[in-house]
Amino acid sequence: MSRPTVAVKLFINKEKKRVLFAESDKDFVDILFSFLTLPLGTIIRLFNRQSEIWCLDELYRSVESLGEEHFQTKDCKAMLLRPVNAAALHCDRLKVKVDDADLTAIYVCARYGACDERYFSTVRDVTCRCGGWKFIITDDLQVAPSSTSLMFFLMDKLVLHEQLNIKEEVLHLNSNKIISLLRRALLSKHPLTGLYFDVAITPIGASSYQLPHTLFAPQAIEAEPKFKPISIRLVQTKDNSSVLYAEVKQDLVDLLFGLLCIPVGSVTKTYSQLSPNGCLDNLYKSVNGAGCVKEDCRSLLLCPKLAPFFGCSSNVLQVEELPWRCHNSPRSLYEMNPKSPKRGDEASYGAYVNGGSINFMVTDDLHIVDFSLAKSLQAIRAAKIPKGKLVEKELTLDKTQVLKLLRAAMVTRNALSSVFLPPIPKKSVTTNAATPRQHQL
pLDDT in tens, 354-405: 887 789 999 999 999 999 999 999 999 999 999 999 999 999 999 999 999 9
DSSP assigned state of 435: B
Residue 212 covered by a domain? yes
pLDDT attached to residue 432: 43
| Sheet with 333-335, edge to edge strand ranges | 119-120, 333-335, 326-327
Question: Which segment of 20-24, 121-125, 135-139, 182-186 scores lowest on mean pLDDT?
Answer: 121-125
Q: Which pLDDT tens digit goes with each residue over 398-413?
A: 999 999 999 999 999 9
Does residue 438 lie within any of the structural domains? no
The DSSP bridge partners found for residue 23 are: 9, 136
Considering 97-111, 185-199, 279-293, 414-428, the range whose residues carry the highest mean pLDDT is 185-199
Please say whether the dihedral angle defined by the alpha carbons of residues 288, 294, 296 and 302, taken in this order, is positive or negative: negative
**375-411 core/surface letters (b: 16 or more CB in 10 A; e: else):** eeeebbeebebeeeeeeeeeeebebebbbbbbbbbbb
CB-based contact 56:411 (threshold 8 Å): no
* pLDDT tens digit sequence for 53-96: 989 999 999 999 999 999 998 899 999 999 999 998 889 889 99
Cα 390 from chain centroid?
33
Predicted local confidence at residue 291, as pLDDT: 73
Query: Model confidence over 124-137: pLDDT tens digits?
Result: 666 555 445 788 99
Q: Which residues pair with 68 in a beta bridge?
A: none
Average pLDDT over residues 108-130: 54
Q: Phi and psi (nearest 5°) for 247?
A: -95, 120
**Within-domain flag for 175:** yes
In a domain, 314, yes or no: yes
Phi, psi at 11, each rounded to 5°: -110, 115
| The pairing of beta strand 333-335 with beta strand 119-120 | parallel
Domain-located, residue 346? yes
Helix (H) or strand (E) holding 360: strand 360-363
Inform me whether the pLDDT recorded for 348 exceeds 50. Answer: yes
Distance CA 321, CA 226 (A): 15
Domain range enclosing 11: 6-420
Q: Is residue 385 part of a domain?
A: yes
HEC letters along 133-173: CCEEEECCCCEEECCHHHHHHHHHHCCCCCCCCEEEEEEEE
Do the domain assignments include residue 435? no
Distance CA 283, CA 288 (A): 9
Centre a 10 Å sphere on the Cβ of residue 217 and count the other Cβ atoms it contains: 13
Residue 431 counted as domain residue: no
The domain total for the chain is: 1
Helix (H) or strand (E) holding 373: helix 373-383
227-247 pLDDT, tens per residue? Answer: 899 999 999 999 999 999 999
- Which residues, other chains included, contact 440 with Cβ-Cβ below 8 Å and sequence gap of 6+? none
pLDDT band for position 438 (50/70/90)?
very low
Half-sphere exposure of 206 (CA within 13 A, CB side): 5
For residue 262, count CB atoms less than 10 angstroms from its CB and return exposed for 0-12, middle for 13-18, buried for 19 or more.
Answer: buried
353-to-12, 33, 64, 253, 338 alpha-carbon distances in Å: 50, 32, 13, 7, 12
Name the DSSP class of 263: B
- Residue 222's CB is within 10 A of a number of other CB atoms, namely 9
Contact yes or no for 93/87 (Cβ under 8 A): no
Question: 276: which residues sit within 8 A by CB, 6+ positions away?
Answer: 411
Per-residue pLDDT, 216: 67
Task: Report yes or no: 211 and 411 within 8 Å, Cβ to Cβ.
Answer: yes
Classify residue 285 by burial, with Cβ atoms within 10 Å: 0-12, 13-18, 19+.
middle
**228 Cβ partners below 8 Å, 6+ apart?**
251, 314
